[in-house]
Amino acid sequence: MADTALPAIDRPGPRQVLRAGPWLKLWPVLLVLLALATVPVVATAAGEPFLIRVFTRIVIFALAAAGLNLVLGFGGLVSLAHASLFGIGGYVVAILAQHEAEAEPFGFAPLLLSGTSDLMISVPLAVLASGLVAAAMGIVAIRTGGAYFIMITLAFNQMLYYFFVALQRYGGEDGLQILGSLHLAGLDVANRVHFYYACLVLLGLVLVATQRLVDSRFGMVLRATAQNERRVVAVGLAPLSYKLVAFALSGAIAGLAGALMAVGQQFISPVDMAWIRSGDLVVICVMGGLTVVVGPVIGAAVFLMLELVLSSYTSHWHLPFGIIVIGLAVVLRGGLADLPRRIAGKFGRGERP
Amino acid sequence: MTFALFAEQLLNGVQLGVMLFLMSAGLTLVFGIMNLINLAHGALYMLGAFIAAAVANASGSFLLGVLVAVPATGLIGAVLEMTLLRHFYARSHLDQVLVTFGLILVSNEVVKLIWGAVPLRFALPPMLDGAVEIFPGVAYPMFRLAILALGLVVAVALYLVIMKTRIGMWVRAGASDRAMAAALGVDVNRVFVLVFAAGSALAGLAGIMAGPILAVQVGMGEPILILALVVTVIGGIGSIKGAFIAALAIGLIDTFGRVLLSPALGSMAIFMAMAVILAWRPKGLFPVHG
Q: What is the mean pLDDT of chain B?
A: 86
Please give the average per-residue pLDDT across B128-156, as a whole number.
82
Pairwise CA distance, residues B246 & B234, whole Å: 6
Contact A282 B102 (CB under 8 A): no
- The answer, yes or no, to whether residue A244 has pLDDT greater than 90, is yes
Give pLDDT, residue A353.
41
A318 touches chain B (CB under 8 A): yes
Lowest-confidence pick of A37-46, A73-82, A295-304, B10-19: A37-46
**Dihedral sign, CA of B174, B177, B178, B180?**
negative
Residue B21 forms part of a structural domain: yes
pTM for the structure as a whole: 0.87
Pairwise CA distance, residues A17 & A28, whole Å: 17
Residue B132 forms part of a structural domain: no
Identify the helix (H) or strand (E) that includes residue A95: helix A82-102
- The answer, yes or no, to whether residue B59 has pLDDT greater than 50, is yes
Among A148, A318, A325, whose Cβ lies nearest the Cβ of B98? A325
Please give the average per-residue pLDDT across A235-255, as a whole number.
91
- The answer, yes or no, to whether residue B135 has pLDDT greater than 70, is yes
DSSP codes joined into one string, A146-210:
HHHHHHHHHHHHHHHHHHHHH-GGGTGGG-EE--SPPBBTTB-TTSHHHHHHHHHHHHHHHHHHH
pLDDT band at B51 (very low <50, low <70, confident <90, very high): very high
Nearest residue of A to residue B87 by CA position?
A330
Please give the average per-residue pLDDT across B116-122, as a whole number.
85
Nearest residue of B to residue A322 by CA position?
B102
B274 touches chain A (CB under 8 A): yes
Domain count, chain B: 1
Lowest-confidence pick of A65-69, A154-158, B32-36: B32-36
Among B35, B101, B106, whose Cβ lies nearest the Cβ of A279? B101
Residue B138 forms part of a structural domain: no
Give pLDDT, residue A4.
45
Pairwise CA distance, residues B275 & B269, whole Å: 10
Please give the average per-residue pLDDT across A172-191, as a whole number.
76
Lowest-confidence pick of A164-173, A234-243, B178-187, B240-249: B178-187
Lowest-confidence pick of A41-50, A104-113, A210-219, A270-279: A104-113
- The answer, yes or no, to whether residue B77 has pLDDT greater than 90, is yes
Among B87, B98, B232, whose Cβ lies nearest the Cβ of A283? B98
Contacts of A288 (CB under 8 A, 6+ apart): A65, A294, A295, A296, A297, A298, A299, A300, A302, A335, A336
Pairwise CA distance, residues A121 & A184, whole Å: 9
pLDDT band at B1 (very low <50, low <70, confident <90, very high): low
Give pLDDT, residue A157.
92
- The answer, yes or no, to whether residue A192 has pLDDT greater than 90, is no
Give pLDDT, residue A342.
63
Residue B274 forms part of a structural domain: yes
Amino acid at A93: V
- The answer, yes or no, to whether residue A203 has pLDDT greater than 70, is yes
Nearest residue of B to residue A148 by CA position?
B233
> A111-113 and A106-108 as β-strands: parallel, antiparallel, unpaired?
antiparallel
Q: At what angle do helices A50-72 and A239-265 cross, to 10 degrees?
A: 170
Contacts of B125 (CB under 8 A, 6+ apart): B61, B62, B63
Give pLDDT, residue B203.
93
B23 touches chain A (CB under 8 A): no
Among A4, A78, A139, whose Cβ lies nearest the Cβ of B97? A78
Residues of A in contact with B279 (CB under 8 A): 139-140, 143
CATH number reported for the structural domain that contains residue B95 in this entry: 1.10.3470
- Give the mutation candidate from A158, A303, A315 for the B interface (greatest B CB count, under 10 A): A158
Q: What is the mean pLDDT of chain A?
A: 82
Give pLDDT, residue A280.
92
Domain span at residue B49 reads: 11-119+144-280
Percent residues over pLDDT 90 in chain A: 30
Q: Could you tell me which residue, A197 or A98, shows the higher pLDDT?
A: A197
Contact A158 B223 (CB under 8 A): yes
